[in-house]
Chain A
Amino acid sequence: MTNFYPVVALLGLAISLISVFRKSPFFNFIGIQITVYGLLKSAALIMPPLPGQVITMYMAMSVFAFLIYFSIQEETFRAFLEPMRAVLADRDKRILRVVLVFILIPLLAGYIAYAKTKPSFEPPVSARIVHPEPPQQIDFRGKTIKILGLENPLRKDTEKLKDYIEEGKKIYYQNCFFCHGDDLDGKGHFAQAFNPPPLPFRGTDTIAQLPESFVFWRIAKGWRGLPPGSAPWDSAMPAFEDFLSEEEIWKVILFIYEASGNKPRTWE
């Protein structure tokens, strides 16, 4: 199905080019929109498909922007409106007008009504906040830990840092590796079973954007600790406070940063 979208894009481009040649901004506009849509959908060929909502957003922007573009110059704007005017007013376009008003528009309205009322078994779209706000403090097995401004206590111990990382590695492979993967890329053995899949640690845009205190909170509290906006029911992350000690969590944090080549975010 996705292979079909580059063709759509090309088709749109063809319409657009022909319209430029025939000096018809209106069809040029249509062609451009088809091209943009085709391109956005074709993105699925090289990466995970763009979410429908994002495509809607881009398309709305594209329509808005090109309407603006074609109304800058007086002549272009008039030429742009010409087909619409012609359909509504010209004598020789009567059949088209009748078809449009009595068949196409009612059909479209009917289709929209159908699509809106059609029973669907899809659960509603859920918005998920990727970066939820951490609480001020958490209750770690009866001990109150202040999350704000919390730093990794092991990081200061530069002499033993190597050992800590080594121990963190062991902990990682005993606990985290099954989901987050051998390569820390979020593609562990179980990853396929989860929806959404586990977070990758590689790359500069996941844990690299987070302070260690945040990571500690996520590991300790797991899915249950997520605020409602982050759809806790959409996560399978266990609360590791039940399985790991405070120090072990800090060690594994040292390891995932070290192994993924990232540095935790700091505020100073």
Chain B
Amino acid sequence: MAEKSIKQGVIKGIIKLTVILGASFVLLFMFRKMLPAPTEDGYRLLPVIGSRVWVWIVAQLHLNFAAFVLGVPIFAVTMEFLGWRRSDERLDRIAYDFTKLFTLAYTLTALLGAVLMVSLPLLYPKFIDHMMKILGPTWWVYILVMYGEVFVCYYYFYSWKRMKDRKGIHVLIGVLLNVMGILMLLITSSWVGYMTTPGGVSETGELVNRWQAIKTYMWIPLSLHRLVANVVFGAGIAAAYAAFRFITARSDDERAYYDWMGYTSAMIAIGFSLILPGIGYLLGVEIYAFNEQMGIQLMGGFFAWLWVMQAILIGAILFAVNYYLWISLNKMPGGQRYFKYVKFLFVVIFLGYAVWLTPHSVALSLEEARRIGSYHPALGKLGVMASKNTAVIISYLATFISFAIFRMSNKEPVVSWVKTGQLIRILLIVGSSVAVLGLGVYSYMVPSVTRVKVLSPIQFGVFFLCIVALYLLDSRMYKGARIIGEPKWGKMPERSQYALIAITVTFTWLMGMMGYMRAGGRQYWHVYGIMKDTSPEAYLPSHGTASVIVTIVTVLFFLLVAFIFWSIMKLERFSEQRRAG
């Protein structure tokens, strides 16, 4: 691939985008002429599966791919930069592999976007007319930025090998790519923000102030949340790719490289996921600030049970990550010494998970209801945010310790103050755990406002301070440490790779579910409080139906991703053969 000239590659990309866009406009125009006029209240109902399910699936798939192509460049460029600064060939290679992944995913993203672009105005003409009236100009800006993004992306990819000697400029192009990506994210988030927490319009839906309509309550928190989640998700997909390549690898060299790539990607994913709860919290606060009813509906009302589901999924992800790290100890010379600590970490995470998934609302049989009532002391105490925040912070702390243990398991510190250092580490861990727990217990005794605005941030603060301190301490203590042996990359049992895949699958599923909740928070409104959904599909489906659709989305997504993986391997083999023959 890289043999192709830069110009050719970029032109090809631009043409591809133009063809896709042009074709969608033509299709849109044609369908409008051909299809019967929409119903009186502005809908065309898609037969068999219904408009809503169709738009739901297409939009979520498009969003998954978009998250992927916006998230991966962020750490691809970072890796390239690090590789360049440290002259590390391996980092450069992994950055290039990441870039290969998202460049190939672009076409699919654009195609899915095109399907969405044709479907929405056809199926929901009234709604799209309204959106165009309010936010129309941003759509045209969006197309412009899209062209910029495609141009920079293809340029970045095809110039990789050629600009080897001008790395600085190449990294700069990568940064530009991310700027474009963030711009796109901001524009699309403003649409969703307007739909969920509208502003800048009169009660009848007439435009008052376009900037207000863009700058809604949800806009910035949603963009931040998506930005970080994109990185987590992108890294997850990269980890899945590495796992896939590990399993299908033919040589030990390949296995070693993809093992390392899987590890790196997984750590990026979990590292960034540390800040997700905080930003998610911010998003929640903004939703409450916009409309308390929507907040309660999302957190405790109809969607209460999906939070239990979310807890199950996040707990599973945390468990899988720790599992991966613990298995990884097997490949570290000297890793055996640390298995005795794994037991404690396991117990901590186990208990944390138990608290984390305790539901507040319960499903009861009649007999149970008679005995328990709607309120159970244990569930009432463990099922609220005070305990869940605490549980998740402690679990994250344990995960970080697993990570730290893995990193230093093949080293022996040589500095003179080892004993003191160990003591400080123990004090840090125990101290911060006690502090977080204490704050958690204390937060039962104060009004909720204090808990939300003071104690929870302090808990998160203690946690972040602790991991920063641990990180600094370790890097000091292990400076020039005696290395027992290099990690034996590639010496991993296959089940660790399934854990990586499981993390990514769970994450994709979670993303689909949370996306549904975000959209469902509007209830029977297209634009909350401004424009009612009067179609027969305006209701929220049962959780079962929603999970079936999320599963369909996830399976379709992985099919498409598998197609990308497969084509990368095909291309690699192709270029290898060309080089050989």
Contacts and interface: CB of A to CB of B under 8 A. Distances in A.
Contacts of B536: none
Nearest to B302: A229
Contact of B363 (A51, A62, A68, A149): A51
B461 interface: no
Interface in B233-248: none
A3 interface: no
Interface of B is mostly: helix
Interface string B381-412: 10010000000000000000000000000000
Interface residues of B, number: 62
Contacts of B447: 208, 263, 265-266
B444 A204 contact: yes
A196 B363 CA distance: 12
Given A71-B495, A204-B444, A65 B319 contact: yes
B315 interface: yes
A50 B376 contact: yes
B414 to A, nearest CB: 28
A260 B392 CA distance: 31
Interface stretch (B43-51, B260-268, B289-297, B482-490): B289-297
B365 A47 contact: no
Interface string A183-218: 000100000000111011001111011010000000
B345 to A, nearest CB: 10
B374 to A, nearest CB: 4
Given A65-B350, A229-B302, A209 B448 contact: yes
A117 interface: no
Interface stretch (A85-93, A129-137, A167-175): A129-137
A52 B369 CA distance: 11
Contact of B293 (A73, A125, A134, A196): A134
B315 A51 contact: no
Given A136-B293, A195-B369, A72 B364 contact: no
B310 interface: no
Given A51-B372, A53-B362, A265 B449 contact: yes
B374 A48 contact: no
Interface size range on A against B? 35 or more
A51 B301 contact: no
Contacts of A47: 376-378
B293 A267 contact: no
Contacts of B273: none
Contact of A51 (B293, B342, B376, B384): B376
Contact of B366 (A62, A68, A122, A229): A122
Contacts of A204: 444-445
A123 B366 contact: yes
A125 B365 contact: yes
A163 to B, nearest CB: 25
Nearest to B320: A68
Contacts of B302: 129, 133, 227, 229
Nearest to B380: A205
Given A61-B315, A71-B495, A266-B449, A51 B364 contact: yes
B361 A206 contact: no
B293 A129 contact: no
Interface in B268-320: 288-289, 291-293, 296-297, 300-302, 304-305, 312, 315-316, 319-320
B354 interface: yes
Contact of A43 (B293, B358, B378, B380): B378
B124 to A, nearest CB: 25
Interface stretch (B9-17, B70-78, B323-331): B323-331
A54 B371 contact: no
A123 B360 CA distance: 22
Contacts of A128: 361-364, 369, 374
A109 interface: no
Given A64-B319, A195-B370, A130 B292 contact: no
B346 interface: yes
A234 interface: yes
A206 B364 contact: no
A221 B342 CA distance: 53
Contacts of A62: 350
Contacts, number: 175
A129 B361 contact: yes
Contacts of B323: 68, 71-72
B339 interface: yes
Interface string B502-516: 000000000000000
A134 B369 contact: no
B168 interface: no
B353 A227 contact: no
A69 B349 CA distance: 11
Interface in A137-164: 148-149
B357 A57 contact: yes
A120 to B, nearest CB: 10
A130 B301 contact: no
Contacts of B293: 133-136, 148
B40 interface: no
Contacts of B448: 208-209, 265-266
Contacts of A71: 323, 327, 495
A197 B299 CA distance: 24
Interface of A: 43, 47-54, 57-58, 61-62, 64-65, 68-69, 71-74, 122-123, 125-136, 148-149, 186, 195-197, 199-200, 203-206, 208-209, 211, 227, 229, 234, 263, 265-268
29 contacts: A48-B377, A49-B372, A50-B379, A53-B362, A54-B362, A65-B319, A72-B329, A73-B339, A74-B493, A122-B367, A127-B305, A128-B362, A128-B374, A132-B296, A132-B301, A134-B296, A135-B293, A148-B292, A195-B370, A195-B373, A196-B372, A197-B374, A199-B374, A203-B377, A203-B380, A209-B448, A265-B448, A267-B288, A267-B449
Interface of B: 288-289, 291-293, 296-297, 300-302, 304-305, 312, 315-316, 319-320, 323, 326-327, 329-330, 339, 342, 346, 349-350, 353-354, 357-381, 384, 444-445, 447-449, 493, 495
Leading 7 A-B pairs by shortest Cβ distance: A131-B300, A133-B301, A127-B363, A197-B373, A196-B374, A133-B297, A196-B373
